[in-house]
Amino acid sequence: MTTPGAEPPHPAATLGEIALAARSRLPAPVWNYLMGGADDEAALARNRLALDGLALAPRVLSGVTEVSTRASVLGIPAAAPLFLAPIGSLGLLDPGGAAASTAAANRLGIPAFVSIMSQPHFAQVAARVPAPGALVLQLYARGDDAWLAARAAEARDAGFGALCVTVDTAWYARRERDLAARFARHQAVDRPAVDDRAGAEGDRRQAAFDWRALETFIAGAGLPVAVKGILRPDDARRAVECGAAAVYLSNHGGRQLDHARAAVEALEAVRAAVGPSVELLVDGGFLRGADVLKALALGARAVGLGKFQGLGLAAGGAPALTRALELLLEELRIAMALCGAASPARLSRDLVVAAAPLPPRGAPLLTDAVAEVLAAARSPLPEGAQA
């Protein structure tokens, strides 16, 4: 029975239904903005191919009758080793924007990274959820040390539990789907609700942000700080030396440096470089529970959901994203049980092995709708969809 005034649950039974609903609801330029990458989109494709190039070697007869997915992210208790990755243009996907996304995350008990470029203003987002301490403010270095310190103070005042600084956007990439469509997201409905020092001065500050500035920011932040956009072991070590509470492996969803390696490919080497105690976060192409399990077994503490989050939100706002997360959690629990792991701590490296590449997208083996949607991202919209 639905509580009066509450949103009814979303009826999707599969993640494929969620993805197809998102595609049918979004105008073509927005769909391509969500699904696209930089230049030739090699890094975008690599994110998926790297996950598909790993197979699971499950343990049997393990006696697992119950599975707990409980974890923590940057000291924030989480119902699962998952979090919503920061996306600055959620308002393009649903009128609720970041408020709708964080509402879904709160319902499931997982952290949400809120972009400083999102709308509503991040302080308003925090005010709308019952657990603002489960939110992480992600920011870009669009100002000087004082500007960054002021944003950290705003986040503390709003009740955020941690911070995340993105370091792989010193220069912005060319995203040809957007260029071909003459699509500029900052001219759309989700203009940032915070002064981000846009223009040449902000770009210069972002390009000049260096290890000294990072160390200064972390030292004065007053909250745990994750450093996002790292793909090299030496950079990971240096981030830890600067005081980072977590190293966040990411190639920006394939949207920055084309031909960059997938974050999941860097996991083992980074784990070996920083040791067993440093918290590693990762995102990039994660769509299924088995994907998440692979990253956890390779050393990640938690997995971020970017395009997955966008698909869920676009499919029907907070209810659809909530349902997508429920389905992903169900997949993760089943995968863990079938691998003989009653908790994330029981997921070990030997559960993951290199495997022959899967057939190209669209082959009979890959009939699930999520794969079909990704493979068809450049094709015409279905009949009746918005244009």
**Annotated active-site positions, please?**
252
Burial readout 143-181 (b: 16 or more C-beta within 10 A, e: otherwise):
beeebbbebbebbeebebbbbbbbbbbeeebebbbbeeb
First-to-last CA distance in the chain? 37
CB 245 within 8 A of CB 223: no
Enter the tokens of residue 64. Answer: 């697992």
Tell me the one-letter amino acid at 120.
P
Residue tagged 């793909």 (tokens)? 231
CB 282 within 8 A of CB 251: no
CA distance 167 to 17: 35
CA distance 177 to 133: 37
Question: Which is it for the CA torsion 264, 268, 269, 271, positive or negative?
Answer: positive
DSSP helix, strand, coil percent of the chain (3-state; round to 5): 45, 10, 45
Q: Give the Cβ contact number of residue 63 at 10 Å.
A: 6
Tell me the one-letter amino acid at 376.
A
For residue 245, which of 284, 209, 277 has the smallest C-alpha distance? 277
Q: List helix spans (H) across 89-232.
A: 97-108, 122-127, 145-158, 176-180, 200-208, 211-221
